[in-house]
């Protein structure tokens, strides 16, 4: 099983340079821990400070090695020509394989701020996904659908094939991931039984489409403690202040051995990658957890 990281991009700081510094330090620590992949997310018009995916990933890649890297694009919110151009540039900066994570998005206020609506999400997503793929393959593309443009073409394209993962929760969206993408990214909020069902359904649909996915990934919010007691203390403090709507059972907090056991259970369900995000935003705690993730990853090397 591979262990990657999706860095938290939302930081409530007085000086915006501080949050950017935290992300840079975390990317460097993730590389030192030997993690298998690096990602950032995608949100717009947020109520709190949020570091946008393309510029921040461009900076983070300076701290990263040749392991895969990528970012999320909520495709209905973007002009697909711009997405393809951004991917082409980021893939040129990256030393390793580039992975495009794609999602529908869900927040009406965010859609309104970006000049669109939730109503057309599925059709806009599939149209955009196809356009991005075609442009990155070197085709000249015109469109008169949800996105209207003429004779778009990319001169700067990735040196190697880009991989596409689709984040999904509902069955039609999981089926879409099996039909269109290289990989599936499951939600961080899934308890183990739902994670089992979604992986099984995804793999069943892949088989129906004659596809063998290179990645069956799941997000998990985690903390690797110096001890089980340290992990319980951090998790307890986080839950006491209210945490992101994710069920406590889906959070992973424990010692190196405890976290490795939880990740191995996901591997047994068919997941090839666990993409972590830290449930605490305390910088020293996050950096300590990242250093201990090396041992977690090493213990999973044969899983």
The β-bridge partners of 73 are: 102
Listed as ranges, residues in the chain with pLDDT below 70 are none
Taking the C-alpha atoms of residue 135 and residue 162, their distance in angstroms, rounded to an integer, is 12
2's enclosing H/E stretch is: strand 2-7
Cα distances (angstroms) measured from residue 190 to each of 91, 148, 193, 207, 296: 31, 37, 8, 23, 21
Q: Residues 157-182: pLDDT tens digits?
A: 999 999 999 999 999 999 999 999 99
Residue 302: Cβ-neighbour burial (10 angstroms; 0-12, 13-18, 19+): exposed
Residue 17: Cβ-neighbour burial (10 angstroms; 0-12, 13-18, 19+): exposed
Note the pTM of the prediction, 2 decimals: 0.95
The reported pLDDT for the residue numbered 241 is 85
The reported pLDDT for the residue numbered 135 is 98
Q: What does DSSP assign to residue 161?
A: P
The reported pLDDT for the residue numbered 243 is 81
Within a 13 Å sphere around the CA of 84, how many CA atoms are in the beta-carbon half? 24
Q: Residues 266-294: pLDDT tens digits?
A: 999 999 999 999 999 999 999 999 999 99
The reported pLDDT for the residue numbered 76 is 96
Within a 13 Å sphere around the CA of 116, how many CA atoms are in the beta-carbon half? 24
Fold of the 2-299 domain: TIM Barrel (3.20.20)
Contact 69, 57 (CB under 8 A): yes
Residue 240: Cβ-neighbour burial (10 angstroms; 0-12, 13-18, 19+): exposed
The reported pLDDT for the residue numbered 249 is 92
């Amino acid at each position: 099983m591979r262990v990657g990281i999706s860095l938290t991009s939302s930081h409530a700081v007085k000086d915006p340079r501080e949050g950017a510094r935290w992300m840079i330090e975390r990317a460097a620590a993730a590389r030192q821990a030997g993690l298998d992949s690096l990602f950032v997310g995608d949100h717009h018009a947020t109520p709190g400070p949020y570091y946008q995916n393309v510029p921040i990933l461009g900076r983070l890649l300076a701290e990263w090695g040749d392991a895969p890297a990528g970012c999320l694009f909520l495709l209905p919110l973007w002009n697909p020509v711009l997405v393809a151009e951004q991917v082409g540039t980021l893939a040129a900066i990256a030393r390793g394989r580039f992975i495009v994570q794609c999602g529908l998005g869900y927040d009406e206020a965010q859609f309104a701020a970006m000049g669109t609506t939730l109503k057309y999400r599925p059709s806009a997503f599939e149209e955009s996904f196809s356009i991005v793929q075609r442009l990155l393959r070197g085709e000249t593309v015109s469109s008169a659908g949800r996105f209207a443009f003429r004779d778009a073409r990319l001169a700067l394209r990735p040196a190697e094939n880009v991989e596409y993962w689709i984040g999904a929760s509902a069955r039609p969206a999981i089926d879409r991931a099996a039909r269109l993408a290289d990989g599936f990214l499951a939600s961080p909020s899934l308890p183990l039984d739902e994670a089992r069902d979604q992986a099984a359904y995804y793999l069943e649909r892949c088989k129906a489409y004659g596809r063998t996915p290179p990645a069956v990934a799941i997000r998990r919010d985690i903390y690797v403690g110096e001890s089980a007691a340290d992990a319980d203390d951090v998790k307890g403090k986080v839950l006491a202040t209210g945490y992101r709507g994710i069920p406590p059972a889906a959070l992973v907090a424990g010692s190196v051995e405890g976290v490795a056991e939880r990740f191995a259970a996901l591997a047994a369900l068919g997941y090839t990658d666990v993409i972590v995000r830290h449930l605490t935003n305390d910088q020293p705690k996050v950096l300590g957890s990242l250093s201990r993730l090396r041992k977690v990853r090493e213990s999973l090397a044969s899983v």
